[in-house]
Amino acid sequence: MIDRRATTLILVLATAAACGGWWLQRRLQAPPAPSHGPSAPAGAAALAIGDKADDLALPDLDGKVQRLAQWRGRRVLLNFWATWCAPCRKEMPALAAAQSRHPDARIVGIALDQPQTVRDYLKHTPVDYPILIGIDADPEPTLRFGDTVGALPYSVLIGPDGRIERSKLGPLDAGELASWLEP
């Protein structure tokens, strides 16, 4: 009769071999992971500080396409956000207050969420700056504007000349907003 220890050892080794085989199979079948997070689509390198911003065209909450060029000549703060992003939601009152204090600048929220979800959220948390929908855009606007990590919130400041002046991953506080939006 086989000793109880031997039986346990055989079961442990068999389980380890099965797990190792499963892991190896998954590893060999999986596509290689990107080394630096998501990257911009082929032929569309991420924009950087000093680059001329693309004339982004995205629908607003009514489905009407709005172009970034309509605000050329002003400082434009693109703020990429989503309703499910807690830091994004926390930042929105400061963005609304900054828009009121800096009427010569334009804050533009770009929601990476479904339009109806955004409309429902804004019923309870209204803002006085335009909200565009970027979730189905191709190429993805956050990647195009330099968010290679793919996290939110992400903000990009475009100067009156249309060139990118600053970008930041994470929420902006009132002091940063003031320094970004003052001429």
DSSP 55-112: --EEEBTTS-EEEGGGGTTS-EEEEEE-TT-HHHHHHHHHHHHHHHH-TTSEEEEEE-
CA distance 85 to 180: 22
Same domain for 13 and 64: no
Spatial neighbors of 88 by CB under 8 A, at least 6 apart, are 81, 82, 152, 153, 171
- Assigned domain for 49 exists: no
Same domain flag for 169 and 80? yes
pLDDT for 87 equals: 97
Q: Examine the domain organization and report whether 26 and 94 are in the same domain.
A: no
The answer to the question of residue 151 being in a domain is yes
Condensed to tens digits (0 to 9), the pLDDT of residues 14-53 reads 666 655 555 445 555 443 433 334 444 444 578 999 999 9
> Is residue 52 included in any domain, yes or no?
no
Q: Is residue 144 part of a domain?
A: yes
Segment 117-144 shows an average pLDDT of 94
Is 26 a domain residue? Answer: yes
71 and 26 in a single domain? The answer is no
How many structural domains compose the chain? 2
In this prediction, residues 176-182 reach a mean pLDDT of 94
Least confident of 5-19, 47-61, 76-90: 5-19
Residue with more model confidence, 81 or 10: 81
Same-domain pairing of 102 and 166: yes
Stretch 54-60: mean pLDDT:
93
Q: Look up the CATH number of the domain holding residue 172.
A: 3.40.30.10
User: pLDDT tens for residues 112-125?
Assistant: 999 999 999 999 99
**176 has pLDDT over 60:** yes
Please determine, for residue 173, whether its predicted confidence score (pLDDT) is greater than 80.
yes
pTM strictly above 0.85: no
Same domain, 4 and 82: no
Range(s) of the domain holding residue 135:
57-181
pLDDT at 9 over 80: no
Assess whether 93 and 167 both reside in one domain: yes
User: Could you tell me if residue 40 is inside a domain?
Assistant: no
Is there a single domain that holds both residue 61 and residue 150? yes
Four-residue CA torsion sign, 83, 145, 133, 71: positive
- What's the pLDDT score for residue 48? 92
